[in-house]
Every structure is written in C-alpha cells, then in structure tokens.
C-alpha cells in the first residue's frame, strides 16, 4: 500500500508561489508537451544510440505510457525506475508523468536489498529495471525477490538480454499505440517524483516532490545558471536517478526545453569525449569526477561552456581554481540536498570568504528556497540551517519519524547543517551536524578538517571519517588521493593543520592513500567503502 504523501508546506504558500508566477502550475508532462509542440525537431536527448528529437521522444513516451497503463499502472501509483543514463530513463520519466504516476528512480548500482527496501516502503506497484548493467542483472535479481514485495504487480525488464521469467519486456511496453493515449492532468502540487537520499539513516531516505517543486523551485535554480536565451544543453555525469539528476528530465527538458547529453556510466575519457563531441553548455558532476578529469586530461582545448555545476560533496578552493582554468568557465559550487535545501555560488562565483566562520556558499534565492538560521545554544550567530520555499519537498515517504525529526510544523526543513548568514546576506556553511566524529567525548567536524587539508600541496582530494576505536570510541582518518608524483605522510598533514590553526584534538590519526575516491551509485564519495579499506589495516599511523 502506498503511504500517504502529505504536503507539509502550508497550502497558502504553495498557491501563492503559483499565483506569483514563481511556479508554472502545470504538470511535468504538460510542460514537456508544450516544448514538443513549439520545437518538435529540437534535440532532446543524445546518448550512445544517437540523437532523439522532442517529437521522437514524445512518441516513445506516449507509447510507454499507453503500455504501462495497459499493465495496470494508473494515476498516483508509485513506480520504481532503475535504469542507466540514456533515453530509456528519460522515456520512463515522461511516461510516468503523463500517467500521473509517481516516479521512484534509484541508480542502477544499488543492489537488490536497497531495491526491495525502497519499493516495499514506498508501496510501489511496478518497476522498470535494467536487465543487465556492468555484469549485474537487476531485473532478474528483483524478480527473484518479488515474494518479499506483495504490492509489486509487474517488473518491466529493459535491455536486449533474455527476458527473465515473470518479467515484461520494455520493448513490448514501448510498442503500445500511443496515438490514442490521453494524458492525465495531475495536481501540479501533487507528488511527481520520489528522490532517494542515503543521508545518515540506516535505510535510504525517500523524499516526495511535487510537479511545481521540481519544475518551479528546482527549475528556478537552473534558470539562474542559463546565461542567454538559448535552451541549455546539459551533460549529466551524475545519474539521472540521483537527487542531483532530478534536474534532468523535469528541469532541463520539461521546464527549460533543453537537451540532455547522457553517458550510461562515468569515465574521465568518456566525459572528455562528450564535451568535445557534443559541446554542452553545462556539465553537472560531483567534485571527484572533475578531479579525475583534471588528472587525465583529453587532447586539445575545451570548447566554450557556460558552467561546471558541481554538487554532492564540498568543493575545495584548489579544485575550483584548477577546473575554472582548464575548462575555461565558471565553476558553480552547489550546496543542496534531496531534503530541500539549495544555495550556490552563481555564474559570477562566490565573493571572497572574508572574515567569518566556515565557507561562503552564496546568496539564498527565495524563488528557489528561503534559508534561515535556527539559533543553537552557546553558538554566537551560528545555528542549524533551515529552508523552506518553492522547491521544498512534500514529505518523507513511509517515515513519519523523519517528518517529525526534520520538518517543522510550518513546513521548514531542518538540514542538520551548521551555518550563519553574514552581514551581506550570504550563507556560510560551518559544519554538518550529521557528520560528526566523536573522539573521547569530543566532537570533530570532518568537513572542517577536509577543508584545511585540501590546501596541502600534496593532496588532490581528501575525505575524512571516523574509525571505530576501543579506547576513544572513534578516531579520525584521512583518506587522501595524492597529487601525481607526491606521497603525503601523516606527519606532514598534521604540520599543515597546525599551521592552519586546526587544534591537535581535531587531527587525523590514520592516513589512507588511494588512487581515487570510490563513489556510490549516486556519485558521492563512498564512505562505507573507504571505511572497509581502513578496517583492513591499510592505514599509515605515522
């Protein structure tokens, strides 16, 4: 049974944003359809199979919607989508929007345990799943676990591989006649998509977003990064099925009438080739991907771009400066999450940090989300960052305890992050409450240490995390990707921290050198994988 998806933002606020034109007040498919009618020959998707125009994409989406309706998928049903970046993922997004169903995308790298958890807790009635991905068989594995999902009525397998027993072929769904299909017209303030976020919970969090929150709030965020009247051409190196990737179909296509350039999986070489071959205006990635691209440069100068848009992890100043020089465009440092917060440095870049704690994030935009600071006891001017605005999600899905913990009675989102707003109205990020290492009863902010270590000349990338310790509870470890030809040592990193004014009580006590930071399926640093490496004793204590 699908849990109730109540909107925790007051109705009067939602209606006010629509009345003021801040949100389009149309469902996602209607927005997409308007672009299809206005520019049917404009390129909508570029993937490994070539180009797809708006008209061709719409034909596929309407066929898929008719086929899914024939399988019993209707308005309000939750449908899981586990597909790699490519046209099938976009078609599924649009088909579900046209049905008035609620899409629940999650990256193909997530295993069957996560799939069962997400589909079960959301009450999903159907799932569209890759038949094969990089040596795994997601559709077959899900069908084998179907007895644990009594509410799941159908599994659609997408791909050329042999159809698993009990599944329905995606090609069969696509072959339905969409010419007579009549789209639903769901409430623009009703649920359109469930974003998945790993966060700090035992199971992945699910956050419900409305059509207006996606096309309006998140669409307004993207609008601030479009430099001219031309529709954006966005290379998504992050999965479309991630929270960051929700800026793909709903925002780049439906809201802005742009084009998506998609790779089914990331590699530095493929990313360089896509930039040179398809000349995107924007590249959306996580900092680790850009560092890997900087370390393995392609041949020749980069074509002009409007912006690199980086999120999912904090961006250090050294990488920002180097990337700006190599790619020849502004590097936008995005502070945001699936939970409903968004602020960024903009195309002009964030001003110098100046005096004050933490790092400057940017100026909050009330057309995206208003940001305030909830005072914290004993902290002068510093408190928890809270957010509420057009992009605010409706609620957490199937988790009333998370709604009680992270949402206020009047709809504000508690981010769990510490910050302050300075005299110029700029948000400064000071630390993350949910990423605290407790050593002997004392709290250490890994983010603070990461920021300080990122300025060391031997460090390309650093992730800090707590390692369980029998005596102290936890000790801090630094996982470092060295710059080419460099071999950082723990003593040198500690000396650097002392020079930066970081007290000895916050110094790392273990060092792990890695060739690259492993990433989760959503493209974020995989802290569990790093912790597993540390637990095997591959650390340098001195």
pLDDT in tens, 181-199: 999 999 999 999 999 986 5
Mean pLDDT of the 111-126 span: 94
Q: What's residue 198's pLDDT?
A: 64
Query: Mean pLDDT, to the nearest integer, of 242-246?
Result: 94
* pLDDT over 90 at 349, yes or no: no
Q: Among candidates 305, 240, 310, which has minimal Cα distance to 275?
A: 305
Weakest-pLDDT range from 200-204, 255-259, 347-351, 381-385:
200-204
Beta strands, E only, 413-498:
413-421, 427-432, 437-439, 442-444, 459-469, 473-482
Ranking 221-225, 424-428, 538-542 by mean pLDDT, the lowest is 538-542
330 to each of 20, 309, 324, 363, 438, how far by Cα in Å? Answer: 31, 9, 6, 16, 37
pLDDT tens readout for residues 41-80? 999 999 999 999 999 999 999 999 999 999 999 999 999 9
Q: Which pLDDT does position 540 carry in this prediction?
A: 47
- Examine the pLDDT at 320 and tell me if it is beyond 50: yes
What confidence score (pLDDT) does residue 448 get? 81
Write out the two tokens for 470: 């029998």
- For residue range 502-516, list pLDDT tens digits in order: 878 889 999 999 999
Q: pLDDT at residue 434 above 70?
A: no
Residue 83 contacts residue 158 (beta carbons within 8 Å): yes
Structure tokens at 253: 């296509």
Instruction: Evaluate if residue 179 carries a pLDDT over 70.
Output: yes
CA distance 112 to 33: 34
- Interval 157-170 mean pLDDT: 95
Strand 154-158 versus strand 168-169 pairing type: parallel
Tens digit of each residue's pLDDT (9 = 90 or more) over 436-484: 787 876 778 788 899 889 999 999 999 999 998 877 788 999 999 999 9
Q: How far apart are CA 260 and CA 42, in angstroms?
A: 11
Averaged pLDDT for residues 4-8: 95
Helix axes 317-327, 287-295, angle to 10 degrees: 60
| Model pTM score | 0.86
Is residue 508 within 8 Å of 449, Cβ to Cβ? yes
Point out the least confidently predicted range of 10-14, 103-107, 435-439, 489-493: 435-439
- What confidence tens digit (pLDDT) does each residue in 268-304 have? 999 999 999 999 999 999 888 998 899 888 777 789 9
Q: Inform me whether the pLDDT recorded for 309 exceeds 70.
A: yes
Largest CA distance in the chain: 70
Residue 542 pLDDT greater than 70, yes or no = no
DSSP assignment letter at 520: -
Q: Report, as an integer, the average pLDDT of 101-123.
A: 93
What residues contact residue 88 under an 8 Å CB cut-off, 6+ apart?
A: 128, 158, 170
Range of weakest confidence among 109-113, 312-316, 317-321: 312-316
Q: What is the 3-state secondary structure (H, E, C) of 362-385?
A: ECCCCCCCEEEEEECCCCCCCEEE
Token output for 361: 């994030």
Regarding beta strands 282-285 and 307-310, do their DSSP bridges make them parallel or antiparallel, or are they unpaired?
parallel
Nearest 5 degrees, angle CA 57-CA 61-CA 65? 175
pLDDT for 351: 58
Q: Which comes out higher in pLDDT, residue 50 or 382? A: 50
Q: How many CB atoms lie within 10 A of CB 117?
A: 17
pLDDT at 522: 78
List of domains in the chain: 54-186 (3.40.50.980), 437-535 (3.30.300.30)
Least confident stretch, 129-133, 272-276, 313-317, 492-496: 313-317
**Which is it for strands 442-444 and 437-439: parallel, antiparallel or unpaired?**
antiparallel
pLDDT over 60 (residue 538): no
Hey, how many other C-beta atoms are within 10 angstroms of the C-beta on 53? 17
């Amino acid at each position: 049974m699908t849990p109730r998806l109540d909107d925790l933002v007051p109705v009067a606020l939602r209606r006010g944003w629509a009345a003021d034109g801040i949100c389009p007040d149309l469902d996602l498919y209607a927005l997409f359809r308007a672009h299809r009618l206005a520019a049917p020959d404009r390129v909508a998707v570029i993937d490994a199979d070539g180009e797809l125009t708006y008209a061709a994409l719409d034909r596929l989406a309407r066929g898929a919607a008719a086929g899914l309706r024939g399988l019993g998928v209707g308005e309000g049903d939750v449908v899981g989508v586990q597909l790699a970046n490519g046209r099938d993922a976009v078609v599924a997004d649009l088909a579900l929007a046209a049905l008035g169903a609620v899409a629940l995308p999650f990256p193909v790298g997530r295993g069957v345990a996560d799939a069962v958890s997400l589909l079960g807790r959301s009450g999903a009635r159907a799932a569209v799943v890759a038949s094969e991905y990089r040596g795994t068989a997601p559709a077959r594995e899900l069908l084998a676990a179907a007895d644990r999902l009594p509410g799941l009525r159908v599994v659609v397998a997408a791909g050329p591989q042999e159809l698993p027993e009990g599944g329905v072929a995606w090609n069969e769904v696509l072959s339905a006649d969409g010419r007579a299909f009549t789209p639903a017209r769901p409430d623009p303030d009703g649920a359109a998509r469930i974003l998945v976020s790993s966060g700090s919970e035992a199971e992945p969090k699910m956050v419900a977003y409305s059509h207006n929150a996606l096309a309006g709030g998140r669409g307004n965020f993207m609008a601030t990064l479009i430099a001219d009247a031309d529709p954006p051409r966005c290379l998504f190196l992050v999965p479309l099925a991630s929270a960051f990737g929700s800026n793909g179909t709903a925002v780049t296509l439906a809201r802005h009438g742009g084009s998506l350039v998609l790779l089914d999986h990331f590699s530095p070489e493929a990313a360089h080739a896509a930039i040179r071959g398809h000349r995107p205006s924007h590249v959306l990635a996580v900092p680790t991907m850009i560092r890997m691209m900087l370390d393995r440069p392609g041949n020749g100068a980069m074509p002009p771009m409007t912006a690199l848009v980086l999120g999912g992890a904090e961006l250090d100043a050294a990488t920002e400066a180097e990337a700006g020089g190599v790619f020849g465009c502004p590097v936008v440092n995005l502070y945001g999450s699936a939970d409903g917060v968004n602020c960024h440095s903009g195309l002009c870049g964030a001003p110098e940090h100046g005096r004050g704690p933490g790092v400057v994030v940017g100026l909050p935009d009330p057309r995206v989300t208003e940001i305030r600071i909830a005072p914290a006891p004993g902290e002068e001017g510093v408190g928890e960052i809270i957010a509420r605005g057009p992009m605010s999600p409706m609620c957490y899905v199937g988790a009333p305890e998370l709604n009680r913990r992270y949402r206020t009675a009047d709809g504000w989102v508690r981010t769990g992050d510490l910050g302050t707003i300075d005299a110029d109205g700029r948000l400064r990020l000071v630390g993350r409450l949910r990423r605290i290492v407790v050593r002997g009863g004392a709290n250490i902010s890994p983010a603070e240490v990461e920021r300080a270590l990122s300025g060391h000349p031997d460090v390309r990338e650093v992730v800090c995390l707590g390692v369980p310790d029998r005596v102290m509870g936890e000790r801090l470890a630094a996982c470092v990707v060295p710059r080419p030809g460099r071999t950082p040592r723990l003593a040198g990193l500690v000396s650097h921290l002392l020079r930066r004014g970081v007290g000895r009580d916050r110094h790392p006590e273990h060092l792990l050198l890695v060739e690259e930071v492993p990433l989760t399926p959503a493209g974020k640093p995989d802290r569990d994988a790093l912790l597993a490496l540390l637990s095997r004793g591959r650390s340098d204590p001195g």
